[in-house]
Amino acid sequence: MLESTPPFSPRHAVQLIMVSDQAAPNLLPALDPAMKPKQIVMLVTDRMRARADCLSQAFTEAGIKVSMAHLGAGASTDYENIQKTVYDVLETNEPTEVALNLTGGTKLMAIAARSAMQDSGARSFYVDIESGDLIWLDDPIAHQKLKSTVRLSSYLKAYGFDVHSKAEVPGVPVAQQQLFTTLVNDIGALGHALTQLNWLGQKAERDDTLSIPISEAGASNQNLDALIAHFERAEMIERRGDTLYYKTKGARDFCKGGWLERLVYQQVEALTGPLAIRDKAMGLEIKRDSVRNELDVAFLHANRFFVIECKTALMDHQTRPNKANDTVFKLDNIANRVGGLGYRTMLVSYRSFSKPEESLVRALNVRLVQGRDIKNLESHLRDWVSVQR
């Protein structure tokens, strides 16, 4: 029978970890208030030195002292060397003050380190990312829930990403809320007109201007006129004859698709309390090495990383047959690099996907909310966040 364990004792001043590609299992116990040690000692192979440096920065910013025990080339398969390294750590600290996190490293590293800990009477634990449990490998085995206290910046830092910038999120005025409702309710009628408005915004951005002739998007039509009027009422643009004037660069971004990001973020914000969402951001620009990526909406829940991509562009199956597939692959790749184990992805698309594209989305475990189903976004978010997999 499983029993609960008492909180992580203050006697365990040191956590001994084994660095691997996945940062979260080592980061989360160290930043849990009930578990936070005074010092982290990392067992690091040559291949994992860059990963260790990223983790070290996250720990240091959290006020935890960090030291590294380098195992050297080929040492991850040297059972006796691994044991010796652990014994060395235990010799410089009271064994009762040290706890080993077994989640990282190779299987052989875990076996060797666990053996040395048992031989010295020191405790070991394992982190189950799927359940959010920390499992003490005592007799009897005991579980405790990890607390959700990690911020996005710390989580990303552990994977080697710095937050370069994120969008300011002002309140949503009534006129903008009315615009959202119109756009979602009239998807069928406004689809082509929205394509034209998107194109105008993209062209204005390329030309670095806040005004553009409407005729550049092709012949005007009743739906485009109506759509422009809706965005005017939301105080994002002004029409004078054949010319559109954007209020600001932010308004231009809003008109060329940013409105959907704002709508999705607004829904996430409304569910922050009910779903216990820990931290969230919109338009999150992150950087690793010299490569930048932008995440439309991202948040943490129960120590998992969630990312949402928002698309209003036409997924034209004839002129650009791979556009939808490229979008899905890019989303999965970015989230995998940034989010580690347990990440979840959602794609909110104003346009509908073809059946083969939907199959690809399902194969990559991306939750798809498309077309008229955006009306049910709240329900999708609740299910997506809460479901166990």
Does the pLDDT of residue 7 top 90, yes or no?
no
Spatial separation of the C-alpha atoms in residues 55 and 360, rounded to whole Å: 33
| Of 124-128, 312-316, 317-321, the least confident | 317-321
Residue 284 · residue 294 · CB < 8 Å: yes
Does the pLDDT of residue 106 top 90, yes or no?
no
Q: What is the CATH number of domain 258-386?
A: 3.40.1350.10
Please give the mean pLDDT across all residues of the chain. 87
In the structure encoding, which two tokens stand for residue 7, read together? Answer: 């909180």
Q: pLDDT value at position 19? A: 93
In the chain, how long is the greatest CA-to-CA distance?
83
Mean per-residue pLDDT for 306-335?
72
Residue range 293-302, pLDDT digits in tens: 889 999 998 8
Q: pLDDT value at position 3? A: 41
Q: Which residue's structure tokens are 């070290």?
A: 56
Does the pLDDT of residue 87 top 60, yes or no?
yes
Does the pLDDT of residue 12 top 90, yes or no?
no
In the structure encoding, which two tokens stand for residue 229, read together? Answer: 């009027």
Q: Report which of 241, 258, 240 is spatially closest to residue 249, judged by C-alpha positions.
A: 258
Residue range 224-278, pLDDT digits in tens: 999 999 999 999 999 999 999 999 999 999 999 999 999 999 999 999 999 989 8
DSSP E strand boundaries for the chain = 3-4, 14-18, 39-45, 65-72, 98-101, 123-128, 133-136, 142-145, 162-165, 211-213, 237-240, 243-246, 279-288, 291-301, 304-311, 344-349, 366-370
Q: pLDDT value at position 361? A: 87
Return the CATH number of 192-255, one of 1.10.1740.10, 3.20.20.140, 1.10.10.680, 3.40.50.720: 1.10.10.680
Domain boundaries, the chain: 3-147, 192-255, 258-386
Residue range 113-153, pLDDT digits in tens: 999 999 999 999 999 887 888 999 987 888 988 887 888 99
Residue range 175-217, pLDDT digits in tens: 999 999 999 999 888 888 998 999 999 999 999 999 999 998 8
Neighbours of 322 (CB within 10 A): 10
Spatial separation of the C-alpha atoms in residues 84 and 321, rounded to whole Å: 57
Residue 140 · residue 2 · CB < 8 Å: yes
Q: Residue 39 burial by CB count (10 A; 0-12/13-18/19+): exposed, middle or buried?
A: middle
Spatial separation of the C-alpha atoms in residues 376 and 373, rounded to whole Å: 5
Residue 381 · residue 388 · CB < 8 Å: no
Does the pLDDT of residue 60 top 70, yes or no?
yes
Q: pLDDT value at position 298? A: 94
Band of residue 339 on the pLDDT scale cut at 50, 70, 90? low
Residues 355, 338, 202: CA angle, nearest 5 degrees: 60
Residue 320 · residue 173 · CB < 8 Å: no
Q: pLDDT value at position 140? A: 80
Does the pLDDT of residue 336 top 80, yes or no?
no
CA 318 to chain centre: 32
Q: What fold, for 3-147?
A: Rossmann fold (3.40.50)
Start-to-end Cα distance in the chain: 24
